[in-house]
Amino acid sequence: MTIPALSAELEGKRAVVTGGSRGIGAAIVQRFLDAGATVVTSARTPTEHTPSAAKFVRADVSTRDGVRALADAALETLGGVDILVNNAGDGRPFPSVLEIGDDAWQASLDINFLAAVRLNAALVPSMVAQGAGVIVNLSSMITNAPMGPLLHYAAAKSALETYGKGLANDLAPRGIRVVTVAPGNVASPGSDVVRREMTEHLGLEESAFDVAVPLGRVGQPADIAEAIGFLVSDRASWITGTRLMVDGGESPHL
């Protein structure tokens, strides 16, 4: 295999990344742009961290209409999709599992599980038509050790992992790879709030999250983006159906 320079590795590739307005998603978008891809990204609200070289589509992907709007805009802009990253996710902790109400369970399934299922259903046909494509679903380290305050989030991410494994088996003969990436504790606008609330609910020190990481620091969005940059490239052409932990060693038992 001839390996192209990193700056040209994704040249000619058309990518869709959900939740690219900030945090991990914005880093993934930037990593793909740096490697030469054309990128469509989405969120409900753009921020100053949203890479401006990507086409931004305002859409709430927790709804069927939002997914449809993003899929239509992506196909119209790109003509087809080579890389799809289901990154948008949301999980605010509750004081205890007993306080997670029915609406919160449904909302978590909508954004952390069904958004990916629906967007894949809309965009995979274009990958099947060209006989190639890569899908990356963003799960979480939390599925290794689900915690009560975030059980709605952990359970939805577990569903996403099971779905990703099955989808990979089904789509492999059609030339499409599907991988799950499970980040550990990564600094981002959303997760910084979550960690603060978790320390309150569980009575922990703020530093507890750094201490738990064998590599001695919480991750940065670029740590996740770099792993995904590899997984969507042809260097990873024999990798499918896998779940990659990117967590600084925090889950050494798996």
Q: Which is nearer to ligand NAP, 30 or 87 (CB)?
A: 87
Q: Tokens standing for 65? A: 């209409």
Quick one: 18 or 128, whose CB is closer to ligand NAP? 18
User: Which residue in the list 153, 194, 223, 246 is annotated as catalytic?
Assistant: 153
By Cβ distance, which residue is nearest to ligand NAP?
Answer: 190
Annotated catalytic residue 163: no
Which residue number, 43 or 178, has a Cβ lying nearer to ligand NAP? 43
Long-range Cβ pairs for the range 237-241 (8 Å, 24+): 237/1, 237/177, 239/177, 239/179, 240/168, 240/172, 240/177, 240/178, 240/179, 241/164, 241/165, 241/168, 241/169, 241/172, 241/178, 241/179
Kindly state the DSSP code that residue 204 receives in the 8-state scheme. Answer: -
Handedness of CA 118, 139, 151, 100 (dihedral sign): negative
- Give the footprint of ligand NAP on this chain (CB under 6 A): 19, 21-25, 43-45, 60-62, 87-91, 111, 138, 140-141, 183, 185-186, 188-191
Shortest CB 78 distance to ligand NAP, Å: 19
Q: Report, in Å, the least distance between residue 44 CB and ligand NAP.
A: 3
At its nearest, how many Å lie between ligand NAP and the CB of residue 21? 4
The residue behind tokens 């709605």 is 152
Any idea which residues carry the catalytic annotation?
153
